Amino acid sequence: MHRMKHDTTHPPTTILAKGFSPGFAALGLEASLLTTLEALGYEEPTAIQREAIPPMLAGKDLLGQAATGTGKTAAFTLPLLQRAARAPRRQPTALILVPTRELAMQVTEAVQRYGKELRLTVLAIYGGQSMGLQLQALRRGVEIVVATPGRALDHIRRNTLQLKHLQIVVLDEADEMLDMGFAEDLDAILEQTPADRQTALFSATMPSRIAAIARRHLKNPVEIRIAREPVKAGTAPRVHQTAYLVARPHKVMALGRILDMTSPTSALVFCRTRLEVDELTGTLKSRGYRAEALHGGLNQAQRDRVMLSFRSGQTRLLVATDVAARGLDIPHVSHVVNFDVPSAPEVYIHRIGRTGRAGREGAAVTLVEPREQRLLRNIEQLTKSRIEVASVPSVADLHAKRLTATRASIQEVLAAGDLDLFRAVVESLAEQGDAMAVAAAAVKWAYQSRGEERKEEEIPALQTRGDETRRVAPRYAPDSREPARGSKAGDRPDRSSQHSPSAARVTLHIGAGKTAGVRPGDLVGAIVNETGLHARLIGAIEVADRYSLVEVPKNMAGGIIEALSRTKIRGQKVPVKIVPE
């Protein structure tokens, strides 16, 4: 069924996000969702949540511009859950389309978390996952489906994903989906949905391609743009700013590693929710840190006790939400840590402005998930300040640092003298063996006595933005999935016109092509999903009848080949190799 096109005679309603809402209760959410939000520790809605939830609850189509990290997942998930809870069960009522497998899993997790009290069934479907398991789950019945476009379309064409009862469709990170070549799939999916469905589209940017999709598939949408406060160049505090790229499952371990390496005298650690604050505080305490939590769930007496402990130095780490940290009278902190990238540059500036005061040196540390790198770039551009992107310290780095600290302590003891009593012990032990071995044993004992030999795990290294400086635009046309003008299927890429000599590239030969139904978007999706490589780092893509050629960074080719060997493209395993120069 074709969707009614946007009525151009009625301009979209525009709401500029500003002002303050007293809380989620004022937005029209039902008691079960409010109870869950309270249990999760969410203290107040973000701008996108305040502006998007009411019109979505009213059933209006919505066009939202908001970056990653602004809380837009909750902005569409909460009203979607409220509507799905009132619909017939065991039939897909809501469909959320996302660009990558990683985001599909994150959104699915969010739906399950927010909808805990509603007992709705949510299913994530994406490429690389067992089709059989997806088919079984769909046959049992689900109410909410989170999917990547390619796999959703496969199920629709197999008639295994029924859309006739669909009431709401959400397109999340729409600009990313277009960059990955999913434009045709999105059109094909939306044209199969009921004409009276509600549609919400979210995108960090609003290029003409997004506007075109909105005109085709949204009816008189409410348009929401999260307007950022202007930030003047040079307003960011003069502190050393470092960001560490780390996957979500390893963030807590990474923070512990960073704190072990930096040994802050006093640090303010920011989290988004009360629950995150409590969980992180407990983890830090278990690692031996003197940490306290500060959030809106504390009464005044508890708050006063925590602040007194932090100011006196008894507590070295204060873990807080932004709301709870407002108006804090803290003379100085050596480090500010953003456990998540702040939702807006002005929030980042306000946070890190708590260190580096009165001529003192300060440090700001931010943990960045791969999909939040764009948000970090926005902060840099608006503040005109440089944020160094570093790898999380390795286990070897940590051991070296601990040994250095042990050595420094021993040197202090040597400088203090008064060693006659202990020299006698060394002389006695040296009679039975080598004096150097005795000294090494003493150092080992000192190292262990500091509690420095606990088991440490390596944290997987991720691609940093340093690699992204070599990115180039794909040479295929993302909206049409055909090679770009001037490019023919089967032609070899012209590297010299696209890349500088320093940006080394190789071409991968993939043993499947048009005959197997392979399209450029399938190749981009498979590489991005399996490796985390940004789509813009993928160069020319050429699809012949029985094979495909994909240009990728040379230093990542081995990892891409290994990753693709573990997955399927258009339902089949395919051989991948590097084309000889």
DSSP string, 221-250: -EEEE-PPPP--TT-S-SSEEEEEE--GGG
pLDDT at 238: 64
Q: What is the pLDDT of residues 259-300, one digit of tens each?
A: 888 888 888 999 888 888 888 999 888 878 889 998 877 777
| Domain identity same for 247 and 346 | yes
Q: State the sign of the Cα–Cα–Cα–Cα dihedral 350, 351, 353, 357.
A: positive
| Domain identity same for 427 and 564 | no
Q: How confident is the model at residue 8 (pLDDT cuts 50, 70, 90)?
A: very low
- What Rg value do the Cα atoms of the chain yield, rounded? 27
- Boundary residue ending a domain (172, 199, 225): 225
Helix (H, G, I), strand (E, B) or coil at 7: coil
244 has which bridge partners?
367, 390
Is 28 a member of any domain?
Answer: yes
Residue 396 burial (10 A CB sphere; 0-12, 13-18, 19+): exposed
Helix (H, G, I), strand (E, B) or coil at 134: helix
Q: Which of 8, 14, 197 is nearest to 97 (CA)?
A: 197
pLDDT at 240: 85
Comparing 195-204, 345-354, 408-417, the range with the smallest average pLDDT is 408-417
Q: What is the mean pLDDT of residues 53-57?
A: 95
Q: What is the mean pLDDT of residues 2-23?
A: 41
High-pLDDT (> 90) share of the chain, %:
19
Q: In whole angstroms, what separates CA 132 from the centre of its chain?
A: 29
pLDDT at 399: 67
| Domain identity same for 410 and 264 | no
Please state the three-class secondary structure of 50-69 as a single string: HHHHHHHHCCCCEEEECCCC
CA distance 299 to 304: 9
| Domain identity same for 316 and 406 | no
- Boundary residue ending a domain (172, 192, 225): 225
With 90 as the cut, is the pLDDT of residue 7 above it? no
Q: How confident is the model at residue 80 (pLDDT cuts 50, 70, 90)?
A: very high
With 80 as the cut, is the pLDDT of residue 401 above it? no
Instruction: Give the contacts of 416 (CB within 8 A, at least 6 positions apart).
Output: none
Where do the H-state alpha helices sit in 58-166?
Answer: 72-84, 101-114, 131-140, 149-158
Is 5 a member of any domain?
Answer: no
pLDDT at 82: 92
| Domain identity same for 206 and 59 | yes
Is 3 a member of any domain?
Answer: no
- Pick 344 or 352 by higher pLDDT: 352
With 80 as the cut, is the pLDDT of residue 371 above it? no
CA distance 271 to 251: 12
Is 7 a member of any domain?
Answer: no
With 70 as the cut, is the pLDDT of residue 496 above it? no
Q: What is the mean pLDDT of residues 191-206?
A: 91
CA distance 299 to 291: 18
Q: How many domains does the chain contain in total?
A: 4
pLDDT at 47: 86
Residue 139 burial (10 A CB sphere; 0-12, 13-18, 19+): exposed
Give residue 288's region: left, alpha or beta (phi > 0; psi -120 to 50): left
Q: How confident is the model at residue 455 (pLDDT cuts 50, 70, 90)?
A: low
CA distance 488 to 111: 43
Q: Which of 246, 101, 108, 124 is nearest to 180 (CA)?
A: 101
- Boundary residue ending a domain (225, 253, 281): 225
Please state the three-class secondary structure of 185-197 as a single string: HHHHHHHCCCCCC
Q: Residue 117, CB half-sphere, CA atoms under 13 Å: how many?
A: 14
CA distance 134 to 130: 7
| Domain identity same for 400 and 386 | no
| Domain identity same for 177 and 276 | no
Q: What is the mean pLDDT of residues 142-165?
A: 91
| Domain identity same for 218 and 333 | no
Q: What is the mean pLDDT of residues 309-322?
A: 87
Q: What is the mean pLDDT of residues 367-394?
A: 80
- Pick 467 or 358 by higher pLDDT: 358
| Domain identity same for 376 and 486 | no
CA distance 335 to 241: 10
pLDDT at 328: 65
Q: What is the mean pLDDT of residues 313-330?
A: 78
pLDDT at 79: 95
CA distance 210 to 247: 29
| Domain identity same for 277 and 221 | no
Domain carrying residue 252: 240-390
CB 387 within 8 A of CB 366: yes
Is 506 a member of any domain?
Answer: yes
pLDDT at 4: 37
Is 483 a member of any domain?
Answer: yes
335 has which bridge partners?
267, 363
CB 341 within 8 A of CB 364: no
Q: What is the pLDDT of residues 545-566, one digit of tens each?
A: 888 888 888 888 888 888 888 7
Angle, to 10 degrees, between the axis of helix 72-84 and the axis of helix 47-57? Answer: 20
| Domain identity same for 293 and 170 | no
Is 463 a member of any domain?
Answer: no
With 60 as the cut, is the pLDDT of residue 521 above it? yes
Domain of 363, CATH number, reads 3.40.50.300
DSSP string, 389-400: EEPPPPHHHHHH
Is 231 a member of any domain?
Answer: no
CB 21 within 8 A of CB 183: no
Tokens 């940006």 locate to: 503
What kind and span of H or E run contains 14? strand 13-16
With 50 as the cut, is the pLDDT of residue 27 above it? yes
| Domain identity same for 106 and 180 | yes
With 50 as the cut, is the pLDDT of residue 69 above it? yes
Q: Residue 303, CB half-sphere, CA atoms under 13 Å: how many?
A: 15
Instruction: Give the contacts of 261 (CB within 8 A, at least 6 positions apart).
Output: 393, 397, 398, 401
Q: How confident is the model at residue 101 (pLDDT cuts 50, 70, 90)?
A: confident
With 50 as the cut, is the pLDDT of residue 489 above it? no
pLDDT at 22: 52
Length of the chain, in residues: 581
Q: What is the mean pLDDT of residues 180-202?
A: 91
With 90 as the cut, is the pLDDT of residue 62 above it? yes
pLDDT at 53: 95
Helix (H, G, I), strand (E, B) or coil at 147: strand
